[in-house]
Amino acid sequence: MSYGFENDLSADSLQTPKGAYSKIEFEKLLNSIYACYKEMLSNKINVPNNDENEIRDRLLFDYLNNNLLRVKFKLLDFLFDPEVPVNSGRSDIKVQTKDTFINTDAYYIIECKRLDGYSTLNKEYIKNGINRFLSGKYPSHYRINGMIGFLVRKIDIDKNIEKIGDFFNQIEKDKLYDSNHKDLKLYHLMMDFSKNIKGN
């Protein structure tokens, strides 16, 4: 599966060969993370609570850091760390690359937020998600980072994305979006866990 992009990238750093490589690398990373999510669904995992950290931890520890699945989904070039202190906050997932061993600032950040179609979690997605990248609270060595929206209730993803903001570009329906901000590109990966949460 490949992702198609219609927009020109606005970030100057993405126009360089290294920036172009980072974009390709990050898209492959997202594709592998999404494959892990699909594996979770096929395994019919249950998440005991409607809790962002519990959902993230199941994805991270049972799938992204599972050595057999790392081979299966081509994740061997990445290391995933949870709740890492960065600048003045704690990011949900720090993704180290081969470059991290040369330059300790060379890593990606993925912030996870729950979404249910209502304004409270939509605002949280912006305030404590997108804005942490835009404000510099989260570093961005490659000028590319990502967010994962954990859908905790069955919703129309496209309509909810419109509610959150008009800066999203759809890459793959109900799955992947991107947003360009001044000198930063954010990818938004949507994962529907509404059927996997006990009590839903």
pLDDT tens readout for residues 5-14: 223 333 443 3
More confident residue, 161 or 111: 111
pLDDT tens-digit readout, 147-186:
999 999 999 888 888 888 766 666 666 666 667 677 788 8
DSSP output for 112-153: EEEE-SSHHHHHHHIIIIIHHHHTTSS--TTSEEEEEEEE-S
Radius of gyration (C-alpha) of the chain in whole angstroms: 16
- Answer whether residue 140 shows pLDDT above 90: no
pLDDT tens-digit readout, 40-50:
999 999 987 78
Specify the 3-state DSSP secondary structure of 161. helix
Helices (H), the chain: 17-42, 52-59, 67-72, 119-125, 131-134, 157-164
Q: Which of 148, 130, 123, 142 is nearest to 55 (CA)?
A: 148
pTM: 0.84
Rounded mean pLDDT of the chain? 84
| pLDDT on residue 50 | 87
* Structural domains of the chain ordered from first start: 12-192 (3.40.91)
- Answer whether residue 92 shows pLDDT above 90: yes
Q: State how far the Cα of 57 lies from the Cα of 188, in Å rounded to an integer.
A: 19
Share of the chain above pLDDT 90, in %: 54
Supply 47's token pair.
């998440």
| pLDDT on residue 10 | 35
